[in-house]
Structure 1
Amino acid sequence: MENCMTRYALITGASSGIGLALAEALARRGRSLILVARQRDQLETIALELTQRFGVEVLFRACDLSEPLRLSGFLLELEEGERQIDLLVNCAGLGTCGPFLAQDWGTEQDLIEVNILALTRLCHTLGNLMAIHGGGQILNVASVAAFHPAPWMSTYYASKAYVLHFSEGLREELKKTGIKVSVLCPGLTRTAFFRTAQLAVEKLAHSRLMMSPEEVALYAVRALDKNRAVIIPGWRNRWLARAPRLMPRWMMRKLAGVTTKAYCPR
Protein backbone atom coordinates (compact mmCIF):
# COMPACT_ATOMS: atom_id res chain seq x y z
CA MET A 1 0.00 0.00 0.00
CA GLU A 2 2.79 2.41 0.87
CA ASN A 3 4.11 2.38 -2.70
CA CYS A 4 0.71 3.67 -3.89
CA MET A 5 0.81 6.71 -1.59
CA THR A 6 1.07 10.13 -3.16
CA ARG A 7 4.55 11.51 -2.62
CA TYR A 8 5.19 15.21 -2.37
CA ALA A 9 7.99 17.63 -3.09
CA LEU A 10 8.16 20.33 -0.40
CA ILE A 11 9.60 23.63 -1.61
CA THR A 12 10.41 26.59 0.63
CA GLY A 13 10.63 30.09 -0.80
CA ALA A 14 8.08 28.96 -3.38
CA SER A 15 6.23 32.24 -3.91
CA SER A 16 8.74 33.78 -6.33
CA GLY A 17 12.10 33.47 -8.07
CA ILE A 18 13.93 30.17 -8.25
CA GLY A 19 11.56 28.51 -5.75
CA LEU A 20 8.53 29.28 -7.93
CA ALA A 21 10.37 28.22 -11.09
CA LEU A 22 11.32 24.90 -9.45
CA ALA A 23 7.70 24.38 -8.37
CA GLU A 24 6.55 24.88 -11.96
CA ALA A 25 9.28 22.62 -13.38
CA LEU A 26 8.35 19.83 -10.96
CA ALA A 27 4.60 20.27 -11.51
CA ARG A 28 5.23 20.01 -15.24
CA ARG A 29 6.72 16.58 -14.51
CA GLY A 30 3.60 15.54 -12.63
CA ARG A 31 4.92 16.02 -9.10
CA SER A 32 2.54 16.76 -6.23
CA LEU A 33 3.76 19.76 -4.26
CA ILE A 34 3.71 21.40 -0.85
CA LEU A 35 4.65 25.05 -1.22
CA VAL A 36 5.99 27.07 1.71
CA ALA A 37 6.52 30.84 1.94
CA ARG A 38 5.42 33.81 4.01
CA GLN A 39 2.80 35.17 1.60
CA ARG A 40 -0.40 33.14 1.94
CA ASP A 41 -2.31 34.98 -0.82
CA GLN A 42 0.48 34.46 -3.33
CA LEU A 43 0.79 30.78 -2.43
CA GLU A 44 -2.94 30.24 -2.83
CA THR A 45 -2.90 31.81 -6.31
CA ILE A 46 0.18 29.82 -7.35
CA ALA A 47 -1.27 26.54 -6.06
CA LEU A 48 -4.50 27.07 -7.98
CA GLU A 49 -2.66 27.98 -11.18
CA LEU A 50 -0.29 24.98 -11.05
CA THR A 51 -3.17 22.63 -10.33
CA GLN A 52 -5.15 23.95 -13.29
CA ARG A 53 -2.18 23.92 -15.69
CA PHE A 54 -0.66 20.58 -14.81
CA GLY A 55 -3.40 18.59 -13.07
CA VAL A 56 -1.30 17.91 -9.96
CA GLU A 57 -2.15 18.27 -6.28
CA VAL A 58 -0.60 21.44 -4.86
CA LEU A 59 -0.86 22.17 -1.14
CA PHE A 60 0.56 25.24 0.56
CA ARG A 61 1.50 26.47 4.00
CA ALA A 62 2.23 30.08 4.96
CA CYS A 63 5.14 30.04 7.39
CA ASP A 64 7.78 32.63 8.24
CA LEU A 65 10.93 30.54 8.54
CA SER A 66 12.70 33.33 10.44
CA GLU A 67 10.39 32.64 13.42
CA PRO A 68 11.60 29.47 15.22
CA LEU A 69 8.30 28.84 17.01
CA ARG A 70 6.30 28.95 13.78
CA LEU A 71 8.83 26.66 12.14
CA SER A 72 8.60 24.24 15.08
CA GLY A 73 4.83 24.11 14.71
CA PHE A 74 5.11 23.45 10.98
CA LEU A 75 7.67 20.68 11.50
CA LEU A 76 5.44 19.06 14.11
CA GLU A 77 2.60 19.04 11.56
CA LEU A 78 4.86 17.31 9.05
CA GLU A 79 5.98 14.71 11.60
CA GLU A 80 2.45 13.93 12.72
CA GLY A 81 0.90 14.11 9.24
CA GLU A 82 0.43 11.22 6.86
CA ARG A 83 1.80 12.84 3.71
CA GLN A 84 5.06 11.35 2.50
CA ILE A 85 7.64 13.88 1.31
CA ASP A 86 10.36 12.35 -0.84
CA LEU A 87 11.89 15.58 -2.13
CA LEU A 88 12.83 18.59 0.00
CA VAL A 89 13.88 21.78 -1.78
CA ASN A 90 15.28 24.39 0.61
CA CYS A 91 15.09 27.52 -1.53
CA ALA A 92 14.05 30.21 0.97
CA GLY A 93 16.79 32.74 1.57
CA LEU A 94 17.47 36.30 2.68
CA GLY A 95 20.29 38.71 1.87
CA THR A 96 21.68 41.97 3.21
CA CYS A 97 24.13 44.41 1.66
CA GLY A 98 26.35 47.09 3.17
CA PRO A 99 28.74 47.46 6.12
CA PHE A 100 28.12 44.72 8.68
CA LEU A 101 28.30 47.06 11.69
CA ALA A 102 25.71 49.36 10.11
CA GLN A 103 23.16 46.57 9.62
CA ASP A 104 20.13 46.24 11.85
CA TRP A 105 20.84 43.19 13.99
CA GLY A 106 17.28 41.92 13.69
CA THR A 107 17.68 41.73 9.91
CA GLU A 108 21.00 39.90 10.22
CA GLN A 109 19.45 37.46 12.67
CA ASP A 110 16.55 36.78 10.29
CA LEU A 111 19.08 35.99 7.56
CA ILE A 112 20.84 33.46 9.79
CA GLU A 113 17.53 31.96 10.95
CA VAL A 114 16.31 31.40 7.38
CA ASN A 115 19.51 30.66 5.44
CA ILE A 116 21.10 28.40 8.04
CA LEU A 117 18.92 27.33 10.96
CA ALA A 118 15.61 26.74 9.19
CA LEU A 119 17.33 24.92 6.32
CA THR A 120 19.20 22.68 8.76
CA ARG A 121 16.10 21.92 10.83
CA LEU A 122 14.10 21.01 7.72
CA CYS A 123 16.88 18.67 6.61
CA HIS A 124 16.94 17.07 10.06
CA THR A 125 13.19 16.56 10.38
CA LEU A 126 12.45 15.51 6.81
CA GLY A 127 15.71 13.56 6.57
CA ASN A 128 14.54 11.41 9.48
CA LEU A 129 11.12 10.92 7.87
CA MET A 130 12.74 9.99 4.54
CA ALA A 131 15.03 7.50 6.28
CA ILE A 132 11.98 5.78 7.81
CA HIS A 133 10.46 5.41 4.33
CA GLY A 134 13.68 4.12 2.78
CA GLY A 135 15.00 7.18 0.98
CA GLY A 136 14.34 10.48 -0.71
CA GLN A 137 16.13 13.50 -2.10
CA ILE A 138 17.20 16.88 -0.69
CA LEU A 139 18.14 19.93 -2.75
CA ASN A 140 19.59 22.83 -0.80
CA VAL A 141 19.98 26.13 -2.62
CA ALA A 142 23.27 27.90 -1.97
CA SER A 143 24.97 30.24 -4.47
CA VAL A 144 28.26 30.75 -6.30
CA ALA A 145 28.77 33.13 -3.36
CA ALA A 146 29.45 29.98 -1.33
CA PHE A 147 32.88 29.57 -2.89
CA HIS A 148 34.48 32.75 -1.53
CA PRO A 149 34.01 35.50 1.07
CA ALA A 150 32.82 38.98 0.12
CA PRO A 151 33.09 42.15 2.18
CA TRP A 152 29.88 44.22 2.33
CA MET A 153 27.80 41.05 2.13
CA SER A 154 29.78 39.04 4.66
CA THR A 155 26.86 37.38 6.43
CA TYR A 156 25.08 36.34 3.24
CA TYR A 157 28.19 34.87 1.62
CA ALA A 158 29.09 33.03 4.84
CA SER A 159 25.57 31.59 5.09
CA LYS A 160 25.83 30.19 1.58
CA ALA A 161 29.24 28.69 2.34
CA TYR A 162 27.56 26.90 5.23
CA VAL A 163 24.84 25.53 2.95
CA LEU A 164 27.43 24.24 0.46
CA HIS A 165 29.62 22.51 3.03
CA PHE A 166 26.72 21.20 5.08
CA SER A 167 25.08 19.71 1.99
CA GLU A 168 28.24 18.03 0.77
CA GLY A 169 28.89 16.54 4.20
CA LEU A 170 25.30 15.39 4.55
CA ARG A 171 25.45 13.74 1.13
CA GLU A 172 28.17 11.37 2.32
CA GLU A 173 26.47 10.72 5.67
CA LEU A 174 23.11 9.80 4.19
CA LYS A 175 24.20 7.62 1.27
CA LYS A 176 23.44 4.38 3.11
CA THR A 177 19.95 5.59 4.07
CA GLY A 178 18.94 6.00 0.43
CA ILE A 179 18.70 9.78 0.75
CA LYS A 180 20.42 11.74 -2.03
CA VAL A 181 21.62 15.25 -1.21
CA SER A 182 22.48 17.90 -3.79
CA VAL A 183 23.30 21.60 -3.54
CA LEU A 184 22.35 24.18 -6.16
CA CYS A 185 24.76 27.10 -6.59
CA PRO A 186 23.25 29.61 -9.04
CA GLY A 187 24.90 32.89 -9.93
CA LEU A 188 23.09 36.13 -10.67
CA THR A 189 19.43 35.28 -11.27
CA ARG A 190 16.63 37.63 -12.27
CA THR A 191 14.60 37.56 -9.02
CA ALA A 192 13.33 39.90 -6.31
CA PHE A 193 16.37 39.02 -4.19
CA PHE A 194 18.27 42.10 -5.35
CA ARG A 195 15.51 44.45 -4.22
CA THR A 196 15.08 42.79 -0.83
CA ALA A 197 18.86 42.78 -0.28
CA GLN A 198 18.93 46.46 -1.38
CA LEU A 199 21.41 45.80 -4.17
CA ALA A 200 21.60 48.23 -7.10
CA VAL A 201 19.42 46.29 -9.54
CA GLU A 202 20.00 48.67 -12.45
CA LYS A 203 23.75 47.97 -12.37
CA LEU A 204 23.15 44.21 -12.59
CA ALA A 205 20.32 44.10 -15.13
CA HIS A 206 22.52 43.70 -18.21
CA SER A 207 25.19 41.46 -16.73
CA ARG A 208 26.17 38.51 -18.91
CA LEU A 209 26.05 36.40 -15.76
CA MET A 210 22.33 37.04 -15.27
CA MET A 211 20.09 34.00 -15.80
CA SER A 212 16.33 33.63 -15.56
CA PRO A 213 14.81 31.56 -12.72
CA GLU A 214 13.35 29.22 -15.34
CA GLU A 215 16.80 28.51 -16.82
CA VAL A 216 18.18 27.75 -13.37
CA ALA A 217 15.25 25.52 -12.46
CA LEU A 218 15.41 23.51 -15.69
CA TYR A 219 19.14 22.93 -15.24
CA ALA A 220 18.58 21.96 -11.59
CA VAL A 221 15.86 19.35 -12.16
CA ARG A 222 17.88 17.72 -14.93
CA ALA A 223 20.93 17.60 -12.63
CA LEU A 224 18.78 16.09 -9.87
CA ASP A 225 17.85 13.27 -12.25
CA LYS A 226 21.57 12.55 -12.52
CA ASN A 227 22.09 12.85 -8.75
CA ARG A 228 24.74 15.55 -9.12
CA ALA A 229 26.34 16.62 -5.86
CA VAL A 230 27.06 20.29 -6.67
CA ILE A 231 24.88 21.89 -9.34
CA ILE A 232 26.17 25.12 -10.92
CA PRO A 233 24.07 26.42 -13.84
CA GLY A 234 25.94 28.29 -16.58
CA TRP A 235 29.56 27.94 -17.68
CA ARG A 236 30.42 31.44 -16.48
CA ASN A 237 29.20 30.58 -13.00
CA ARG A 238 31.18 27.35 -13.04
CA TRP A 239 34.27 29.38 -13.90
CA LEU A 240 33.55 31.80 -11.03
CA ALA A 241 33.25 28.88 -8.63
CA ARG A 242 36.71 27.63 -9.66
CA ALA A 243 38.37 31.06 -9.78
CA PRO A 244 39.19 31.25 -6.03
CA ARG A 245 41.54 28.29 -6.43
CA LEU A 246 43.61 30.24 -8.95
CA MET A 247 44.47 33.30 -6.84
CA PRO A 248 45.73 34.12 -3.33
CA ARG A 249 42.95 34.53 -0.77
CA TRP A 250 43.94 38.12 0.01
CA MET A 251 43.45 39.00 -3.65
CA MET A 252 40.15 37.15 -3.77
CA ARG A 253 38.86 39.10 -0.76
CA LYS A 254 39.94 42.42 -2.29
CA LEU A 255 38.35 41.73 -5.68
CA ALA A 256 35.13 40.43 -4.14
CA GLY A 257 34.92 43.47 -1.88
CA VAL A 258 35.38 45.93 -4.75
CA THR A 259 32.71 44.17 -6.82
CA THR A 260 30.19 43.83 -4.01
CA LYS A 261 30.62 47.37 -2.73
CA ALA A 262 29.87 48.74 -6.19
CA TYR A 263 26.38 47.22 -6.02
CA CYS A 264 25.62 48.31 -2.45
CA PRO A 265 23.76 51.57 -1.94
CA ARG A 266 25.81 52.63 1.07
Structure 2
Amino acid sequence: MDFYGKTALVTGASRGIGRAIAHALARQGMQRILLVARNAQRLEAVATEVRQLGAEAVVLPVDLSDPIQANVVIARAWQHHGPVHLLVNCAGVAHQVPFLQAKLPQVQSEISTNLIGLYTVTRLVARRMAVRQEGCIVNVSSLMGKVAAPTMATYSATKFAIVGFTQALRSELAPHRVRVVALLPSLTDTDMVKGFEWFRGVQPSTPDQVAAALVRGLNRGQAEILVGWQSHAAIWTQRLAPWLIDPMVQLLAPPKPEPQRRPVRSS
Protein backbone atom coordinates (compact mmCIF):
# COMPACT_ATOMS: atom_id res chain seq x y z
CA MET A 1 0.00 0.00 0.00
CA ASP A 2 1.19 3.49 -0.83
CA PHE A 3 0.91 5.52 2.38
CA TYR A 4 2.69 8.66 1.21
CA GLY A 5 0.54 11.77 1.00
CA LYS A 6 -2.68 9.96 1.95
CA THR A 7 -5.25 10.49 4.70
CA ALA A 8 -6.03 7.91 7.39
CA LEU A 9 -8.78 7.78 9.98
CA VAL A 10 -7.92 5.80 13.12
CA THR A 11 -10.53 5.05 15.78
CA GLY A 12 -9.51 4.23 19.34
CA ALA A 13 -6.51 6.46 18.68
CA SER A 14 -6.14 7.89 22.17
CA ARG A 15 -4.09 4.99 23.56
CA GLY A 16 -2.80 1.47 23.07
CA ILE A 17 -2.85 -0.11 19.62
CA GLY A 18 -4.68 2.81 18.02
CA ARG A 19 -2.06 5.29 19.21
CA ALA A 20 0.77 3.05 18.00
CA ILE A 21 -0.88 2.68 14.60
CA ALA A 22 -1.21 6.46 14.29
CA HIS A 23 2.51 6.78 15.01
CA ALA A 24 3.40 4.06 12.49
CA LEU A 25 1.30 5.63 9.74
CA ALA A 26 2.94 9.01 10.33
CA ARG A 27 6.35 7.38 9.97
CA GLN A 28 5.19 5.79 6.70
CA GLY A 29 4.53 9.23 5.21
CA MET A 30 0.80 9.66 5.72
CA GLN A 31 -0.02 13.30 5.09
CA ARG A 32 -2.96 13.53 7.46
CA ILE A 33 -4.28 11.34 10.28
CA LEU A 34 -7.76 11.84 11.69
CA LEU A 35 -7.71 10.72 15.32
CA VAL A 36 -11.02 9.47 16.70
CA ALA A 37 -11.84 8.57 20.32
CA ARG A 38 -14.04 9.73 23.18
CA ASN A 39 -11.34 11.45 25.23
CA ALA A 40 -10.37 14.78 23.65
CA GLN A 41 -7.51 15.45 26.07
CA ARG A 42 -5.77 12.16 25.30
CA LEU A 43 -6.35 12.68 21.58
CA GLU A 44 -4.63 16.06 21.76
CA ALA A 45 -1.57 14.40 23.30
CA VAL A 46 -1.46 11.82 20.50
CA ALA A 47 -1.97 14.56 17.92
CA THR A 48 1.13 16.34 19.25
CA GLU A 49 3.13 13.13 18.88
CA VAL A 50 1.87 12.57 15.33
CA ARG A 51 2.79 16.11 14.30
CA GLN A 52 6.30 15.62 15.68
CA LEU A 53 6.56 12.63 13.33
CA GLY A 54 5.78 14.85 10.34
CA ALA A 55 2.08 14.27 9.69
CA GLU A 56 -0.89 16.55 10.08
CA ALA A 57 -3.16 15.45 12.93
CA VAL A 58 -6.85 16.21 13.29
CA VAL A 59 -8.60 15.52 16.60
CA LEU A 60 -12.17 14.20 16.35
CA PRO A 61 -13.67 13.47 19.79
CA VAL A 62 -16.78 11.36 19.21
CA ASP A 63 -18.66 8.40 20.65
CA LEU A 64 -18.96 6.08 17.66
CA SER A 65 -21.75 4.09 19.31
CA ASP A 66 -23.94 7.19 18.78
CA PRO A 67 -24.81 6.97 15.04
CA ILE A 68 -26.10 10.53 14.75
CA GLN A 69 -23.05 12.06 16.41
CA ALA A 70 -20.70 9.86 14.38
CA ASN A 71 -22.45 10.71 11.11
CA VAL A 72 -22.08 14.44 11.70
CA VAL A 73 -18.41 14.24 12.72
CA ILE A 74 -17.35 11.92 9.88
CA ALA A 75 -19.23 13.93 7.25
CA ARG A 76 -17.64 17.18 8.42
CA ALA A 77 -14.19 15.60 8.54
CA TRP A 78 -14.55 14.33 4.97
CA GLN A 79 -15.76 17.74 3.83
CA HIS A 80 -13.02 19.75 5.53
CA HIS A 81 -10.04 17.40 5.26
CA GLY A 82 -10.64 15.54 2.03
CA PRO A 83 -11.24 11.84 1.33
CA VAL A 84 -10.11 9.11 3.69
CA HIS A 85 -7.85 6.58 1.97
CA LEU A 86 -7.33 4.28 4.97
CA LEU A 87 -9.78 3.54 7.78
CA VAL A 88 -8.47 1.66 10.82
CA ASN A 89 -11.24 0.53 13.18
CA CYS A 90 -9.41 0.06 16.46
CA ALA A 91 -11.84 1.29 19.11
CA GLY A 92 -12.73 -1.45 21.57
CA VAL A 93 -13.53 -2.35 25.16
CA ALA A 94 -13.15 -5.61 27.06
CA HIS A 95 -14.36 -7.09 30.32
CA GLN A 96 -12.81 -10.22 31.79
CA VAL A 97 -15.42 -12.05 33.83
CA PRO A 98 -16.81 -15.61 33.95
CA PHE A 99 -19.97 -15.84 31.85
CA LEU A 100 -22.17 -16.86 34.78
CA GLN A 101 -21.11 -13.71 36.67
CA ALA A 102 -21.32 -11.30 33.73
CA LYS A 103 -23.64 -8.30 34.02
CA LEU A 104 -25.81 -7.12 31.14
CA PRO A 105 -24.32 -3.57 31.12
CA GLN A 106 -20.88 -5.13 30.55
CA VAL A 107 -22.21 -7.15 27.63
CA GLN A 108 -23.94 -4.11 26.17
CA SER A 109 -20.83 -1.93 26.44
CA GLU A 110 -18.71 -4.47 24.54
CA ILE A 111 -21.30 -4.95 21.81
CA SER A 112 -21.96 -1.22 21.54
CA THR A 113 -18.32 -0.22 21.12
CA ASN A 114 -16.80 -3.26 19.44
CA LEU A 115 -19.60 -3.90 16.95
CA ILE A 116 -22.06 -1.01 16.67
CA GLY A 117 -19.33 1.62 16.73
CA LEU A 118 -17.25 -0.25 14.14
CA TYR A 119 -20.27 -0.83 11.92
CA THR A 120 -21.33 2.81 12.14
CA VAL A 121 -18.03 4.38 11.10
CA THR A 122 -17.38 1.71 8.44
CA ARG A 123 -20.77 2.34 6.86
CA LEU A 124 -20.13 6.08 6.72
CA VAL A 125 -16.63 5.80 5.26
CA ALA A 126 -17.14 2.78 2.97
CA ARG A 127 -19.95 4.46 1.05
CA ARG A 128 -17.71 7.40 0.25
CA MET A 129 -14.79 5.13 -0.66
CA ALA A 130 -17.03 3.15 -3.02
CA VAL A 131 -18.04 6.32 -4.85
CA ARG A 132 -14.38 7.24 -5.32
CA GLN A 133 -13.47 3.65 -6.26
CA GLU A 134 -10.52 3.58 -3.87
CA GLY A 135 -9.68 2.93 -0.24
CA CYS A 136 -8.69 0.41 2.40
CA ILE A 137 -10.55 -0.58 5.57
CA VAL A 138 -8.78 -2.35 8.44
CA ASN A 139 -10.96 -3.92 11.13
CA VAL A 140 -9.05 -4.76 14.29
CA SER A 141 -10.35 -8.10 15.55
CA SER A 142 -8.23 -10.38 17.74
CA LEU A 143 -6.84 -13.88 17.92
CA MET A 144 -9.96 -14.33 20.09
CA GLY A 145 -11.89 -13.83 16.87
CA LYS A 146 -10.50 -17.22 15.79
CA VAL A 147 -9.95 -19.03 19.10
CA ALA A 148 -12.43 -18.11 21.83
CA ALA A 149 -11.22 -17.61 25.37
CA PRO A 150 -12.93 -18.49 28.67
CA THR A 151 -13.72 -15.49 30.89
CA MET A 152 -13.91 -13.41 27.66
CA ALA A 153 -17.12 -14.78 26.15
CA THR A 154 -18.71 -11.54 24.95
CA TYR A 155 -15.42 -10.04 23.84
CA SER A 156 -14.65 -13.21 21.86
CA ALA A 157 -18.13 -13.10 20.34
CA THR A 158 -17.65 -9.53 19.14
CA LYS A 159 -14.25 -10.36 17.68
CA PHE A 160 -15.63 -13.42 15.84
CA ALA A 161 -18.35 -11.14 14.48
CA ILE A 162 -15.75 -8.65 13.24
CA VAL A 163 -13.96 -11.41 11.31
CA GLY A 164 -17.23 -12.46 9.65
CA PHE A 165 -18.18 -8.85 8.92
CA THR A 166 -14.76 -8.26 7.37
CA GLN A 167 -15.00 -11.33 5.15
CA ALA A 168 -18.44 -10.34 3.88
CA LEU A 169 -17.42 -6.73 3.32
CA ARG A 170 -14.29 -7.82 1.46
CA SER A 171 -16.40 -9.53 -1.20
CA GLU A 172 -19.00 -6.78 -1.39
CA LEU A 173 -16.54 -3.90 -1.75
CA ALA A 174 -14.06 -5.61 -4.09
CA PRO A 175 -15.97 -4.46 -7.21
CA HIS A 176 -15.62 -0.90 -5.90
CA ARG A 177 -11.85 -1.33 -5.54
CA VAL A 178 -12.04 -0.98 -1.76
CA ARG A 179 -9.79 -3.37 0.13
CA VAL A 180 -10.95 -4.82 3.48
CA VAL A 181 -8.47 -6.34 5.93
CA ALA A 182 -8.68 -7.99 9.35
CA LEU A 183 -5.93 -7.37 11.90
CA LEU A 184 -5.76 -10.09 14.57
CA PRO A 185 -3.45 -9.25 17.47
CA SER A 186 -2.99 -11.74 20.27
CA LEU A 187 -2.68 -10.51 23.86
CA THR A 188 -1.25 -6.99 23.69
CA ASP A 189 0.15 -5.16 26.70
CA THR A 190 -2.14 -2.12 26.80
CA ASP A 191 -4.13 -0.22 29.40
CA MET A 192 -7.20 -2.22 28.42
CA VAL A 193 -5.81 -5.45 29.90
CA LYS A 194 -4.23 -3.99 33.02
CA GLY A 195 -5.51 -6.04 35.92
CA PHE A 196 -6.61 -8.92 33.71
CA GLU A 197 -5.51 -12.47 34.46
CA TRP A 198 -3.38 -13.40 31.46
CA PHE A 199 -3.31 -16.83 29.88
CA ARG A 200 -0.44 -18.97 31.13
CA GLY A 201 2.59 -19.01 28.88
CA VAL A 202 1.27 -16.34 26.53
CA GLN A 203 3.88 -13.78 25.59
CA PRO A 204 2.16 -10.41 25.05
CA SER A 205 2.94 -8.20 22.08
CA THR A 206 3.56 -4.49 22.40
CA PRO A 207 1.32 -1.97 20.61
CA ASP A 208 4.30 -1.02 18.43
CA GLN A 209 4.72 -4.64 17.34
CA VAL A 210 1.05 -4.77 16.35
CA ALA A 211 1.37 -1.53 14.39
CA ALA A 212 4.49 -2.80 12.61
CA ALA A 213 2.68 -6.03 11.70
CA LEU A 214 -0.15 -3.98 10.22
CA VAL A 215 2.19 -1.97 8.02
CA ARG A 216 3.94 -5.14 6.81
CA GLY A 217 0.65 -6.87 6.14
CA LEU A 218 -0.74 -3.96 4.15
CA ASN A 219 2.43 -3.78 2.08
CA ARG A 220 2.20 -7.52 1.37
CA GLY A 221 -1.45 -7.37 0.41
CA GLN A 222 -2.62 -9.71 3.20
CA ALA A 223 -6.35 -10.10 3.83
CA GLU A 224 -5.83 -11.28 7.42
CA ILE A 225 -2.85 -10.10 9.43
CA LEU A 226 -1.77 -12.17 12.43
CA VAL A 227 0.64 -10.77 15.02
CA GLY A 228 3.40 -12.87 16.55
CA TRP A 229 4.45 -16.49 16.29
CA GLN A 230 2.01 -17.62 18.97
CA SER A 231 -0.92 -16.43 16.89
CA HIS A 232 0.36 -18.31 13.86
CA ALA A 233 0.90 -21.43 15.98
CA ALA A 234 -2.65 -21.26 17.36
CA ILE A 235 -4.19 -20.85 13.91
CA TRP A 236 -2.16 -23.70 12.41
CA THR A 237 -3.10 -25.92 15.33
CA GLN A 238 -6.76 -25.08 14.76
CA ARG A 239 -6.45 -25.97 11.07
CA LEU A 240 -4.37 -29.14 11.37
CA ALA A 241 -5.38 -30.53 14.78
CA PRO A 242 -8.63 -28.83 15.83
CA TRP A 243 -9.23 -31.42 18.55
CA LEU A 244 -6.27 -29.97 20.45
CA ILE A 245 -7.70 -26.47 20.74
CA ASP A 246 -10.17 -26.99 23.59
CA PRO A 247 -7.73 -28.93 25.83
CA MET A 248 -4.99 -26.42 25.10
CA VAL A 249 -7.23 -23.46 25.95
CA GLN A 250 -8.32 -25.13 29.19
CA LEU A 251 -4.73 -25.83 30.12
CA LEU A 252 -3.60 -22.27 29.51
CA ALA A 253 -6.70 -20.52 30.87
CA PRO A 254 -6.06 -18.03 33.67
CA PRO A 255 -7.31 -18.51 37.23
CA LYS A 256 -10.84 -17.31 37.86
CA PRO A 257 -10.75 -13.48 37.93
CA GLU A 258 -12.62 -11.22 40.28
CA PRO A 259 -16.18 -10.82 39.01
CA GLN A 260 -16.34 -7.02 39.12
CA ARG A 261 -13.72 -5.38 36.92
CA ARG A 262 -14.13 -2.00 35.35
CA PRO A 263 -12.79 -1.85 31.77
CA VAL A 264 -10.40 0.73 30.41
CA ARG A 265 -11.71 1.94 27.09
CA SER A 266 -9.40 2.31 24.11
CA SER A 267 -11.52 5.05 22.67
Question: Which TM bucket (shorter chain)?
Answer: 0.7 to 0.9
Map 1:13-92 to 2 at 5 A. Answer: 13-31=12-30, 32-51=32-51, 53-78=52-77, 81=80, 83-92=82-91
Supply the distance in 1 between the matched residues of 2:10 and 2:87 (Cα, whole angstroms).
6
Question: Deviation string for 1:202-230 (max 9, x for gaps)?
Answer: x56x9552111111111111111122100
Deviation at 1:120, TM superposition (A): 1.5
Supply the distance in 2 between the matched residues of 1:80 and 1:46 (Cα, whole angstroms).
23
Map 1:187-206 to 2 at 5 A. Answer: 187-195=186-194, 198-200=195-197
In the alignment, which residue of structure 2 is the partner of 1:145?
144
Deviation at 1:134, TM superposition (A): 1.8
Number of residue pairs matched by the alignment: 253
In the alignment, which residue of structure 2 is the partner of 1:262?
255
In the alignment, which residue of structure 2 is the partner of 1:237?
231
Supply the distance in 2 between the matched residues of 1:137 and 1:247 (Cα, whole angstroms).
32
Moved more, 9-18 or 206-215: 206-215
Question: Deviation string for 1:122-169 (max 9, x for gaps)?
Answer: 222111101111210011101111112333211100110111121122
Q: 1:79–1:125: 8 Å Cα contact kept in structure 2? A: no
Structure 1 runs not aligned, ≥5 long: 1-5
**How large is the Cα RMSD of the aligned pairs?**
2.2
> SS in structure 1 opposite 2:113?
helix
Q: 2:64–2:121: 8 Å Cα contact kept in structure 1? A: no
In the alignment, which residue of structure 2 is the partner of 1:217?
211
Supply the distance in 2 between the matched residues of 1:7 and 1:29 (Cα, whole angstroms).
10
Question: Deviation string for 1:54-81 (max 9, x for gaps)?
Answer: 2221001111233444334334434655
Question: Deviation string for 1:105-130 (max 9, x for gaps)?
Answer: 22211110111111112222111101
> SS in structure 2 opposite 1:214?
helix
- What is the one-letter code of the residue matched to 2:39? Q
Supply the distance in 1 between the matched residues of 2:88 and 2:40 (Cα, whole angstroms).
19
Structure 2 runs not aligned, ≥5 long: 260-267
Moved more, 62-71 or 153-162: 62-71
Q: 1:98–1:261: 8 Å Cα contact kept in structure 2? A: no
Deviation at 1:170, TM superposition (A): 1.3
In the alignment, which residue of structure 1 is the partner of 2:262?
none
Q: 2:17–2:210: 8 Å Cα contact kept in structure 1? A: yes
In the alignment, which residue of structure 2 is the partner of 1:110?
109
Deviation at 1:100, TM superposition (A): 2.7
- Structure with the largest fraction of helix: 1
> SS in structure 2 opposite 1:30?
coil
- What is the one-letter code of the residue matched to 2:90? C
The verdict on how the C-alpha distance between 1:14 and 1:263 changes in structure 2, with shifts beyond 3 A counting, is farther
Deviation at 1:22, TM superposition (A): 0.6
In the alignment, which residue of structure 2 is the partner of 1:247?
242
Question: Deviation string for 1:170-222 (max 9, x for gaps)?
Answer: 11221121111111001111111213xx513xx56x95521111111111111
What TM-score, normalized by structure 2, do the two folds share? Answer: 0.86
RCO (CA 8 Å, sep 6+): is it higher in 1 or 2? 2
Moved more, 251-260 or 157-166: 251-260
In the alignment, which residue of structure 1 is the partner of 2:168?
169
